[in-house]
Structure 1
């Protein structure tokens, strides 16, 4: 275990004093030393629940890979094979008067290459919906509502074609239903039994009850956003509640093989450009930020090495500045949030700064003080 280094804690305190933040939190784990580092300020610390939003998609990916191991699904089969009530998905992908819904595989959905529009933020009406959420206007929807909205937006390209991935919450809304129909349990129960319980996560769950006040509300600029019915509607595409420390533990479980055979992971690393500098594989993001894009945030965060390449990350970011990543070139996990809907890049920059500090000063100081060698890194179970 380890507390926050002074510079990183001062940065967190400075962010939380801003009118745009009610709190920030970051948890990191260094595989070389076995050391945890935690930063928290304002209303958030390593044990405070927050909405994981888009980072929830890693939980979906983990369960799908478990189902693959169990022989219950095949990622390259059409998703309709695993949906018990296909009526809600009829003519979901129609383009040039051709219905290609039955051509969409699970891998297409996981990779955002299904060609389906985004029921939440795709066209003008959906953008207005997103803005309403940012303004605190609460609403709710179910699976059929989301499918009808996606159907009305229309398909954007044939499944699996083109080089780009097009982000669509519709994809993971469908994958959540696949998990429910294949496992015979709710998505919330699947997360609990397949992820939270095996990893010993006590504060990680799917937000289902609008009266649940445990998670800290996100901010939209200087406004607190309380939209519990909306958050309860997301489910698989953004409805996980977690803490920075438990999200970090989940990341370790995901990439170190505690949830499924990690040897399958390289088969998911076929990256397609999404929005620069982000690429998407099957179920996760790959982020390599060029040094020049980090300058505004490194200046703001008072980093020392302005021209140093930013750490490469694999995992997921989410609306509200949430992040759950592994930096494979450095052996560091990072998870947390800045809890701000308007500027999610701020969360990514905060996480990159944390990784750089771990790789630099924190690791060096710890190895000097404790005289540890890399082989002394602690196993996952000792940190639960």
Structure 2
């Protein structure tokens, strides 16, 4: 098949780069019903890898399930669900005013809480250098662990950066999803790992998807940082709800389809998540979901080998990207899903390029069979 040849050629190019020890991609074409699974190096479609920030999409699915069950609303103050969290008191103080009790599930999911990021301390000028150092420690292979209590202490001690819901932009903060993870644990009275198993893994029949909790677990491929592999199991076991899920390209594809096709929560509720705010160009953030609108000019540097497609339009993508090169994306205008990872902590644009080129290979394969792209009704 031309699609298979094109994608394997693409993966070969990635594999020839010393920054990549392995690449994996799975695709699904909702027009033809055809799926494809591809891998190179030490990653294949069935090899587990860390999905990192894509975990937030799984958290969004769980929150929407709990909403359907009447266990919370998007406008429920989070503290009403974490009444035993003494550290959460005065966690959000801005200009001398305590806004902690105003923080809702919606604020946390949409990155509009105004809390600073515990992981990079980007809310404080006086610790900016420390923040930059901490942000790069994992990429340098320096392992560390932290607890939820330490997350809250760091978040409180460095102060808030905005009032809840203030301003037109989303401010990405890992603290938000650490808190959401604790909220859903409190509601279901189980660990986050058990909840993911019960609410996502078992219903979808997944076998290699789980929350990374044991630092001695060597099943997932260790991420690359530039041209070297880094092992940071203590950190990976600490992320939990803001980046701790392990999956495979094949199973990430199953999850992505289930998310957008109404098999985890009602499809009619998807639009509830599509309350878009600018995050970082060219990405917008809703409630646990990214929307990526890539202009033609931004792709030209990656298309120099393919001048015929130099000005090709990229369809709008919905889903999530992870800092380690993972992606779960859906292009509703053409009905194509792509999931996988380039397993690289540095250079996040590489995952976007990989997903776009894989998506385009699926679309091009249709032309060879004289079929037209399907238009799927979806908010854009």
Instruction: Answer whether contact 1:47 1:245 (CA < 8 A) is retained.
Output: yes
| 1:363 matches 2:366 | yes
Q: Is 1:128 equivalent to 2:133 in the alignment?
A: yes
Written as runs of structure 1 = structure 2, the 5 A alignment for 1:62-211 is 62-123=61-122, 124=128, 125-211=130-216
Deviation (angstroms), 1:309: 1.4
Distance 1:7 1:117, change over 3 A: same
Partner-residue secondary structure (3-state), 1:117: coil
Structure 2 SS opposite 1:273: strand
1:333 — aligned with what?
337
How much does 1:3 deviate? Answer: 9.3
Structure 1 CA distance for aligned equivalents of residues 205 and 199 of structure 2:
11
Answer whether contact 2:366 2:372 (CA < 8 A) is retained: no
Equivalenced residue count is 368
| 84-93 or 131-140, which deviates more | 84-93
Q: Normalising to structure 1: TM-score of the pair? A: 0.93
Secondary structure (helix, strand or coil) at the match of 1:274 reads strand
Q: Which residue of 2 aligns with 1:43?
A: 42
The equivalent position to 1:348 in structure 2, one of 352, 355, 374, is 352
Aligned counterpart, 2:264:
259
Kept in 2: contact 1:321–1:340 (CA 8 A): yes
Task: Say what the alpha-carbon RMSD is for the aligned residues.
Answer: 1.7
Deviation at 1:89, TM superposition (A): 1.1
State the SS of the aligned residue for 1:134: coil
Alpha-carbon distance change, 36 to 332 in structure 1, aligned in 2, over 3 angstroms: same
Q: Secondary structure at the match of 1:339?
A: coil
Question: Any conservation in 2 of the 1:46–1:243 contact (CA below 8 Å)?
Answer: yes
**CA distance in 1: counterparts of 2:35 and 2:307, whole angstroms:** 21
Separation in 1 of the partners of 2:54 and 2:44? Answer: 18
**1:122 aligns to what SS in structure 2?**
coil
Separation in 2, partners of 1:372, 1:328: 14
Unaligned stretches of 5+ residues in structure 2: 123-127, 375-380
Judged with a 3 Å threshold, the aligned counterparts in structure 2 of structure 1 residues 303 and 116 are, in CA distance, closer, same or farther, namely: farther
Q: Is this contact kept in 2: 1:164–1:274, CA < 8 A?
A: yes
Q: Which one of 291, 300, 303 corresponds to residue 298 of structure 1?
A: 303
SS of aligned partner of 1:13: helix
1-structure distance, mates of 2:358, 2:24? 11
The TM-score with structure 2 as length reference comes to 0.94
State the 4+ residue runs in structure 1 displaced beyond 6 angstroms: 371-374
| 3-state secondary structure, aligned to 2:138 | helix
Structure 2 match to 1:378: none
Question: Secondary structure at 2:36's aligned position in 1?
Answer: strand
Shift of residue 283, structure 1, vs aligned partner: 1.1
Q: Distance in 2 between matches of 1:303 and 1:187?
A: 47
Q: Which runs of 5+ in 1 are unaligned?
A: 375-384
